[in-house]
Amino acid sequence: MLKNPRLNINLRKIKKNSEYIRNLCLQYKIELVGITKGCSAIPEVAQAMVDGGIKTLGDSRIKNIQMLKKMGIKAEMMLIRIPMLSEVDKVIKWADISLNSEISVIESLSQEALKNDTIHRIILMVDLGDLREGVRPDDVLIIVEKIVKLPGVKLIGIGTNFCCISGVMPSLESLTKLVKLAEEIEHSFGINLEVISGGNTSVLKLVEDGIIPERINQLRVGVGILLGQDDARSRNLDGTYQDTFILTAEVIELKVKPSLPQGEIGRDAFGEIPVFQDLGLRKRAILALGKQDVHINNIIPIKKGIKIVGASSDHLIIDITDLAEEINVGDKLDFKLNYPALLSASTSKYVNRYFYKEENCKYSN
């Protein structure tokens, strides 16, 4: 018997998504890096990406990269979060490439690489307006001058990021600026940059529209592969599957109850003051699923007529008054996931995982 709650993971569809996006990028000579952090680097998912033709995998946690290598995943590994000084030794041991923005960290990587008689490849991140990681454009040449003098590390390129902390969208103008910075570095220091990493899933729209600058030759794509979504634009990617991950939860209570609570309203368990609308008596179900398992605001019921009322840490309340079919205690209900929900559900130790390779699967049986 399958255990609930559970993530039903369709590896065939993740492979197909990887193939489709990879082929799209290859039309413009762009390498696709598969980002695994959105599903907590589930090894089977990482392997599906590799089976789909992806040669490099990226994750924000060195622990995940270490795990994937120990599991025998045959791909280059990229650490996509700026390394912590306290983990530099592990970065050198497990990551083939890392994204960087702090010279003190790069100096430490250099020293550790020398100890291990190796060359560690780095991509210098440039902040083009999203205000997450990266050096400012005016400081790029200053830091590159220091990097190229360091033994044990090789600057293979520069990169940038969009839509992660400030919602700044990628544009032809901003990516052209990145290319010009790369050319300025090459001219100033007499080096060739192998990689100009243009960003994440949000940049795929420029690829689809055929307006990606010619020298952008790498994209780091996570949610586009995992869920077939461009969440920055709230759209599905043409040619991809969105039902790659389905969350199933079990009904543990069915009752007709008032829609308006009785008594004085204070803050709930998460410090919020809930607001309710009086809709009279409603048929409600409780599912064995809560905020400790998943980001509730980003799950979508597959069956029509179900409305999410709210959740505590361990209970999800849904309104099933308008559901056409009969629901009983013990029944299972399925939900599609957006990125925050996948991130949290794959991280929770309370959510079980089951893997499928068939095209059409019924998960809630």
The pLDDT value recorded for residue 360 is 76
The pLDDT value recorded for residue 364 is 65
Residues of the chain with pLDDT under 70: 363-365
Distances in whole angstroms, Cα of residue 56 to Cα of each of 67, 193, 360: 15, 18, 29
The pLDDT value recorded for residue 365 is 58
Q: Going from the N-terminus, what domains does the chain have, and what CATH number goes with each? A: 11-231 (3.20.20.10), 245-356 (2.40.30)
**Strand ranges (DSSP E) for 238-342?**
245-258, 281-287, 299-301, 307-311, 316-319, 332-337
The pLDDT value recorded for residue 157 is 98
The pLDDT value recorded for residue 358 is 83
Cα gap 66→86, rounded to integer Å: 16
Tokens of 289: 């699923």
Tell me what percent of the chain is helix, strand and coil, each rounded to the nearest 5: 30, 25, 45
Cα gap 43→124, rounded to integer Å: 28
Cα gap 22→57, rounded to integer Å: 13
Residues 6+ apart with CB under 8 A from 77: 56, 57, 58, 59, 65, 68, 69, 94, 95, 96, 97
DSSP run (H or E) holding 157: strand 153-159
Residues designated as active site: 37
The pLDDT value recorded for residue 126 is 98
Cα gap 291→297, rounded to integer Å: 9
Q: Are 241 and 17 in contact (CB under 8 A)?
A: yes
Residues 6+ apart with CB under 8 A from 184: 140, 141
The pLDDT value recorded for residue 262 is 87
